[in-house]
Amino acid sequence: MELNNNFSRTLSLLRRERNVSQRVAAADLGISQALLSHYENGAREPGLAFVTRACDYYHVSADFLLGRSMDREGTTIGAEELYDASAEKGNVLQGSVAAMLNKKLLGNSVNMLFDLLGKTGSKEAIAACSNYLSDAVYKMFRHLYRASGTQDEGFFSIPARHFLAGCTNADMTYSEADYLDALSDQVKAKGKEVIPSMNNDALAAGYPAAYQSLLQIVHTTGERVNETLDRRKKGKK
């Protein structure tokens, strides 16, 4: 049975989420700890019987375990079915299905992020996060604006030479540092309990619609970054 690269990571994460050791999980699943370690490290591929037992043990679908779906029940969500928080304010995006889907994914995830940040009570973290994301939107919009080479860049207060030199990137880096400092300060002042619970069950219960968007971003971003790292490693050999 051919498995994708996501299987081993998902199997390991599910065990950690359940808070059991490899020894305990292996015993429950009827295999040796060494074999489970091989499965979680991607060194060995299991048979269908093990996949079935693992799905029952972790209460997930085979599609989720194999990385074919971000929904634990195996449901595939299309763009038209994805909850869109912006629609509540009458915002309408005219464009392709891909644009609509990504707008929903990012919009829902950002709404979740700021709601979670609000629960920390850190205004500084919220401001730093807003600055970082604003820089990212600014960059993407400005690259699009100047793509034709004919637009008057007097529209922007940052000179083109400073933009191209990476001044916006620098602001993003400082904003990220401010964000980390603000969260650290809040934890020191009020304890680690100030950070809301963000395990799967808590997020699914607190954000039953928008959480699917965040899961999709976590999945696709992880896959993209890991593929890039894998290519770099292969190129160095």
Rg (CA), the chain: 22
**Which amino acid type is present at position 202?**
A
**Angle (CA) 41 46 52, round 5°:** 115
Residue 200's pLDDT is what? 85
Q: Are 40 and 23 in contact (CB under 8 A)?
A: no
* Fold of the 6-65 domain: 434 Repressor (Amino-terminal Domain) (1.10.260)
Phi–psi pair at 33, nearest 5 degrees: -60, -35
Say whether 28 sits in a helix, a strand or coil.
Answer: helix
- The string over 46-85, giving b where at least 16 C-beta atoms fall within 10 Å of a residue's C-beta and e elsewhere, is beeebbeebbebbebbebbbbbebbbbebeebebeebbbb
Residue 68's pLDDT is what? 65
Structure tokens at 33: 């700890």
As a whole number of angstroms, the distance between CA 125 and CA 131 comes to 10
Residue 90's pLDDT is what? 47
Task: Indicate the domain borders of the chain.
Answer: 6-65, 85-236
Closest CA to 185 of 113, 90, 103, 120: 120
Regions of the chain with pLDDT less than 70 = 1-5, 67-98, 237
Residue 97's pLDDT is what? 62
**Which residues have a Cβ under 8 Å from the Cβ of 119 and sit 6 or more positions away?**
196
Q: Are 33 and 26 in contact (CB under 8 A)?
A: yes
Closest CA to 13 of 51, 40, 52, 39: 40
The string of pLDDT tens digits covering residues 108-122 is 999 999 999 999 999
Residue 174's pLDDT is what? 97
**Which amino acid type is present at position 7?**
F
